[in-house]
Protein backbone atom coordinates (compact mmCIF):
# COMPACT_ATOMS: atom_id res chain seq x y z
CA UNK A 1 0.00 0.00 0.00
CA UNK A 2 1.38 3.37 -1.02
CA UNK A 3 2.04 5.95 1.71
CA UNK A 4 -0.54 8.70 1.76
CA UNK A 5 0.56 12.10 0.53
CA UNK A 6 -0.11 13.53 4.01
CA UNK A 7 2.48 11.20 5.57
CA UNK A 8 5.10 12.47 3.10
CA UNK A 9 4.79 16.09 4.24
CA UNK A 10 6.43 16.85 7.60
CA UNK A 11 7.35 13.18 8.07
CA UNK A 12 8.38 11.67 11.39
CA UNK A 13 11.34 9.93 9.73
CA UNK A 14 13.09 9.86 6.34
CA UNK A 15 11.22 8.04 3.58
CA UNK A 16 13.11 5.57 1.38
CA UNK A 17 12.63 5.83 -2.37
CA UNK A 18 14.10 4.19 -5.47
CA UNK A 19 14.52 5.64 -8.93
CA UNK A 20 15.99 4.64 -12.27
CA UNK A 21 18.24 6.49 -14.68
CA UNK A 22 17.14 4.54 -17.77
CA UNK A 23 19.36 4.84 -20.83
CA UNK A 24 18.22 3.59 -24.24
CA UNK A 25 20.39 2.17 -27.03
CA UNK A 26 20.88 5.66 -28.46
CA UNK A 27 22.27 6.99 -25.16
CA UNK A 28 19.11 8.98 -24.34
CA UNK A 29 17.69 9.15 -20.82
CA UNK A 30 14.03 8.77 -19.89
CA UNK A 31 12.62 11.71 -17.93
CA UNK A 32 9.22 12.36 -16.39
CA UNK A 33 7.76 15.76 -15.58
CA UNK A 34 6.43 15.63 -12.02
CA UNK A 35 2.79 16.35 -11.25
CA UNK A 36 3.22 16.64 -7.46
CA UNK A 37 5.55 18.21 -4.89
CA UNK A 38 8.36 18.10 -4.17
CA UNK A 39 9.49 19.23 -7.58
CA UNK A 40 6.06 19.80 -9.10
CA UNK A 41 6.39 20.70 -12.78
CA UNK A 42 10.10 19.80 -12.93
CA UNK A 43 11.66 17.00 -14.95
CA UNK A 44 13.05 14.03 -13.04
CA UNK A 45 13.93 10.39 -13.39
CA UNK A 46 11.15 7.85 -12.71
CA UNK A 47 10.85 6.59 -9.15
CA UNK A 48 8.92 6.50 -5.92
CA UNK A 49 8.64 5.16 -2.41
CA UNK A 50 9.70 1.67 -1.39
CA UNK A 51 6.72 -0.30 -0.10
CA UNK A 52 6.85 -2.38 3.08
CA UNK A 53 8.41 -5.79 2.36
CA UNK A 54 9.80 -4.66 -1.00
CA UNK A 55 13.50 -4.35 -1.79
CA UNK A 56 14.81 -1.11 -3.29
CA UNK A 57 15.59 -3.09 -6.46
CA UNK A 58 12.00 -4.31 -6.69
CA UNK A 59 10.65 -0.82 -5.94
CA UNK A 60 12.73 0.75 -8.69
CA UNK A 61 11.46 -1.69 -11.30
CA UNK A 62 7.84 -1.41 -10.09
CA UNK A 63 7.93 2.39 -10.13
CA UNK A 64 9.46 2.43 -13.61
CA UNK A 65 6.69 0.22 -14.95
CA UNK A 66 3.90 2.07 -13.10
CA UNK A 67 5.04 5.51 -14.25
CA UNK A 68 6.21 4.72 -17.76
CA UNK A 69 4.96 1.27 -18.81
CA UNK A 70 8.57 0.16 -19.40
CA UNK A 71 10.72 -2.62 -17.98
CA UNK A 72 14.51 -2.66 -17.85
CA UNK A 73 17.62 -4.43 -16.61
CA UNK A 74 19.16 -2.79 -13.54
CA UNK A 75 22.93 -2.50 -13.89
CA UNK A 76 24.05 -1.02 -10.59
CA UNK A 77 23.35 1.48 -7.86
CA UNK A 78 24.45 4.76 -9.40
CA UNK A 79 24.03 7.00 -6.35
CA UNK A 80 22.25 7.49 -3.04
CA UNK A 81 20.78 10.96 -2.67
CA UNK A 82 19.35 12.74 0.37
CA UNK A 83 16.52 15.13 -0.46
CA UNK A 84 15.79 17.35 2.52
CA UNK A 85 13.42 20.29 2.08
CA UNK A 86 13.13 22.62 5.06
CA UNK A 87 10.29 24.90 6.07
CA UNK A 88 12.07 27.20 8.47
CA UNK A 89 13.40 24.92 11.23
CA UNK A 90 10.99 22.12 10.32
CA UNK A 91 11.60 19.34 7.79
CA UNK A 92 8.87 19.50 5.11
CA UNK A 93 10.21 16.56 3.05
CA UNK A 94 13.00 14.06 3.69
CA UNK A 95 13.70 11.30 1.18
CA UNK A 96 16.65 8.95 0.88
CA UNK A 97 16.68 7.96 -2.79
CA UNK A 98 18.60 4.96 -4.11
CA UNK A 99 19.24 5.70 -7.79
CA UNK A 100 19.83 2.79 -10.16
CA UNK A 101 21.30 2.83 -13.63
CA UNK A 102 19.38 0.70 -16.12
CA UNK A 103 19.55 -0.09 -19.81
CA UNK A 104 17.75 -2.08 -22.47
CA UNK A 105 14.20 -0.82 -21.94
CA UNK A 106 11.35 -2.99 -23.14
CA UNK A 107 7.63 -2.48 -23.34
CA UNK A 108 5.55 0.41 -24.60
CA UNK A 109 5.98 3.92 -23.20
CA UNK A 110 2.80 5.24 -21.57
CA UNK A 111 1.61 8.67 -22.55
CA UNK A 112 -0.11 9.29 -19.22
CA UNK A 113 0.60 8.54 -15.59
CA UNK A 114 -1.14 9.81 -12.47
CA UNK A 115 2.21 11.06 -11.15
CA UNK A 116 3.58 12.50 -14.40
CA UNK A 117 2.54 15.38 -16.65
CA UNK A 118 4.86 14.35 -19.50
CA UNK A 119 7.28 11.56 -20.32
CA UNK A 120 10.06 11.59 -22.90
CA UNK A 121 13.51 10.52 -24.08
CA UNK A 122 16.25 13.15 -24.18
CA UNK A 123 19.96 13.30 -24.90
CA UNK A 124 21.92 14.16 -21.75
CA UNK A 125 22.93 17.54 -23.21
CA UNK A 126 19.32 18.32 -24.03
CA UNK A 127 18.15 17.13 -20.60
CA UNK A 128 20.73 19.25 -18.79
CA UNK A 129 19.19 22.37 -20.34
CA UNK A 130 15.73 21.51 -18.95
CA UNK A 131 14.11 22.49 -15.65
CA UNK A 132 15.19 19.51 -13.54
CA UNK A 133 14.88 18.44 -9.93
CA UNK A 134 18.18 18.72 -8.03
CA UNK A 135 18.41 14.93 -7.91
CA UNK A 136 17.91 14.55 -11.67
CA UNK A 137 20.53 17.24 -12.38
CA UNK A 138 23.03 15.51 -10.07
CA UNK A 139 22.44 12.15 -11.79
CA UNK A 140 22.65 13.59 -15.31
CA UNK A 141 25.90 15.37 -14.48
CA UNK A 142 27.31 12.16 -13.00
CA UNK A 143 26.35 10.13 -16.10
CA UNK A 144 27.80 12.75 -18.42
CA UNK A 145 31.08 12.79 -16.50
CA UNK A 146 31.36 9.00 -16.18
CA UNK A 147 30.40 7.99 -19.68
CA UNK A 148 30.59 11.08 -21.81
CA UNK A 149 26.99 10.51 -22.89
CA UNK A 150 25.60 13.33 -24.97
Residues 6+ apart with CB under 8 A from 126: none
- Residue 68 near residue 110 (C-beta atoms within 8 A): yes
Is 118 one of the catalytic residues? yes
What are the Cα distances from residue 37, in Å, to 5, 140, 150? 10, 21, 29
118, 131, 141, 146: which one is catalytic? 118
Strand duo 47-49 + 15-23: pairing: antiparallel
Q: Nearest to residue 83, comparing CAs of 144, 148, 137?
A: 137
Cα 57-63-66 angle, rounded to 5 deg: 140
Residues 6+ apart with CB under 8 A from 95: 14, 15, 16, 17, 82, 83
Query: Active-site residue numbers?
Result: 118
Amino acid sequence: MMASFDSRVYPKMPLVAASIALIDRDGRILLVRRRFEPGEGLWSIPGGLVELGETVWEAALRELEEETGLKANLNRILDVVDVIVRDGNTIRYHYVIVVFEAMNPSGRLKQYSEECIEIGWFSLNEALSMELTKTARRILEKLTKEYGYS
